[in-house]
Amino acid sequence: MYKAGVLFDHRATMKDSRLVYSSDPLANQKCPKCKELVSECTCPKEVDVKNYKFVAVLRMEKSGRGGKTVTVIDQLPKNEIFLRELTTKLKKKCGSGGTYFLDKKEGVIEIQGDKRELIRELLTREKIKSKG
Ligand SMILES: [Zn+2]
């Protein structure tokens, strides 16, 4: 309706009808996660694993009431797909439970039990450097 009106009144409105279109496609892009405009989005940004140099840090922790030992793999890239896949491989390799977290700055994987040897083996096979 608005368009038809503009066409009908073409000459009269020509001078001052400045329809506003955003010429910047990025300005109208929406974040796939929160559906906010990208400029408004506060979602944590994921890193590109291929271009991310990192050294995974292994350490032991006691967790829970029973004080169960878990092997923590810290300083991993903050990328959910990468973490999910690596956690699955580690769980299979170690034959134990595990989980991953996206921390403020990086990704963290926890595998139940003292599995440092097996974890190191798998990380080496995955060409992931590690220490600890
Ligand atoms: Zn977002």
| Domains of the chain, residue spans | 49-131
What pTM does this model have? 0.66
Region 18-47: mean pLDDT is 74
**How far apart are the C-alpha atoms of 85 and 3, rounded to whole Å?**
51
Higher pLDDT, 51 or 108: 108
Is a pLDDT exceeding 50 seen at residue 59? yes
Is a pLDDT exceeding 80 seen at residue 1? no
Options 3.30.200.20, 3.40.920.10, 3.90.420.10, 3.30.780.10; CATH for 49-131 is 3.30.780.10
pLDDT band with cut points at 50, 70 and 90 for residue 19: low
Region 16-44: mean pLDDT is 72
pLDDT of residue 103: 79
Report CA(80)–ligand 1 centroid distance (Å): 15
List CB contacts of 112: < 8 A, sequence separation 6 or more.
68, 69, 70, 71, 94, 96, 97, 98
Report CA(130)–ligand 1 centroid distance (Å): 31
pLDDT band with cut points at 50, 70 and 90 for residue 97: very high
pLDDT of residue 33: 82
**How far apart are the C-alpha atoms of 110 and 59, rounded to whole Å?**
10
Region 44-57: mean pLDDT is 85
Report CA(34)–ligand 1 centroid distance (Å): 4
Residues lying with their CB under 5 A of ligand 1, a single-atom ion = 31, 33-34, 41, 43
Mean pLDDT of the chain: 83
pLDDT of residue 27: 66
Report CA(99)–ligand 1 centroid distance (Å): 24
Report CA(45)–ligand 1 centroid distance (Å): 9
Count CB-CB contacts under 10 A for residue 33.
Answer: 10
